[in-house]
Amino acid sequence: MEEECRVLSIQSHVVRGYVGNRAATFPLQVLGFEVDAVNSVQFSNHTGYSHWKGQVLNSGELQELYDGLKLNSVNQYDYVLTVCDPVMGDQRNGEGAMYVPDDLLPVYREKVVPVADIITPNQFEAELLTGRKIHSQEEALEVMDMLHAMGPDTVVITSSDLLSPRGNDYLMALGSQRTRAPDGSVVTQRIRMEMHKVDAVFVGTGDLFAAMLLAWTHKHPNNLKVACEKTVSAMHHVLQRTIKCAKAKSGEGVKPSPAQLELRMVQSKRDIESPEIVVQATVL
């Protein structure tokens, strides 16, 4: 990358494994970005393990760190990346459940999303933010338009319950990007992607996705299709490598543990740098 591009990433840190800043930093650095990382927590590992221990930053401490940067006049960034992912909840078989405190929802809806430029909610989170349920692709596109109206010009619904045209083995994701044409008119590019399901519970994939989407939309600012194809392809390679290694460790027929399912991030350096494209996004 020719010109220095600086990202302020405010996410969690785990000693071991790849979630939050640990999922975002290495890929962005490998892709040539300068990443300044504020660790909002430091835990031994993510909370999907049997045990976890660590410490949380309060807002005063977060302010202190930002003040330090400001006092040195180095508070200049091209991107901010936060858990404006927005990591709030997920659903399984139509049942939604939140996994951060309920009082955060109004904050996201009224304060955070309006200042966001790119958001990557899953279906459940998109429904929560707009108050509107999604039962079909058409409704999903309407919900993405409602999200655009709240602020962000780029919306990617990273996963959904919707039945993919390719069948049950596939997960459907949708994206929508608003840009202003030279004549002033608003152009909206909408895409659909099908991703082959992997039979395991991964943690950190949303964080990795958001970081790589940042990178690829930076390199392809007016082409959400290409940016998403690269992001999703890279994800595919990382997950394939991860599940293969995890199964090798756990043994035949044994479900891999959370420790064994940690993303094979370091081993996937080349796939992150130049992902071989394995998914075609459909322009809607």
Q: Residues with Cβ < 8 Å from 258, sequence gap 6 or more?
A: 45, 46, 48, 49, 203
Nearer to its own copies, 7 or 210 (CB): 7
Tell which positions 35-54 bind its own copies, by CB under 8 A. Answer: 36-39, 42-45, 49-54
Positive or negative CA dihedral for 163, 109, 230, 269?
negative
Nearer to its own copies, 66 or 170 (CB): 66
Question: 79: buried, middle or exposed (CB in 10 Å: 19+, 13-18, 0-12)?
Answer: buried
**Does 254 participate in binding its own copies (rule CB under 8 A)?**
no
The rounded radius of gyration (Å) of the Cα atoms in the chain is: 19
**Does 268 participate in binding its own copies (rule CB under 8 A)?**
no
Catalytic option among 36, 145, 183, 207: 207
Nearer to its own copies, 138 or 276 (CB): 276
Tell which positions 9-38 bind its own copies, by CB under 8 A. Answer: 13, 15-16, 26, 29-30, 32, 34, 36-38
Candidate ranges 108-116, 130-138, 145-153, 259-267; the one touching its own copies (CB under 8 A): 259-267
Q: What's the CA gap between 26 and 84, in Å, rounded?
A: 19
Query: For strand 6-14 and strand 79-82, is the pairing parallel, antiparallel, or unpaired?
Result: parallel
Q: Residues with Cβ < 8 Å from 140, sequence gap 6 or more?
A: 123, 126, 134, 157, 160, 162, 174
| Contact criterion met (CB below 8 Å) for 191 and 228 | yes
Q: What's the CA gap between 35 and 77, in Å, rounded?
A: 10
Minimum distance of its own copies from residue 215's CB (angstroms): 14
Binds its own copies by CB under 8 A, chosen from 169, 187, 254, 267: 267
Number of residues forming the site for its own copies (CB under 8 A): 40
**Does 259 participate in binding its own copies (rule CB under 8 A)?**
yes
Tokens of 124: 């459940």
Q: Is 161 a catalytic residue?
A: no
Q: Write out 43-74 in H/E/C secondary structure.
A: ECCCCCCCCCCEEECCHHHHHHHHHHHHHCCC
Tell which positions 55-114 bind its own copies, by CB under 8 A. Answer: 55, 57, 61, 64-69, 71-72, 74
Tell which positions 194-223 bind its own copies, by CB under 8 A. Answer: none
Minimum distance of its own copies from residue 231's CB (angstroms): 20
Minimum distance of its own copies from residue 242's CB (angstroms): 13
Per CB under 8 A, residues contacting its own copies are 13, 15-16, 26, 29-30, 32, 34, 36-39, 42-45, 49-55, 57, 61, 64-69, 71-72, 74, 259, 265-267, 269, 273
Question: Active-site positions?
Answer: 207
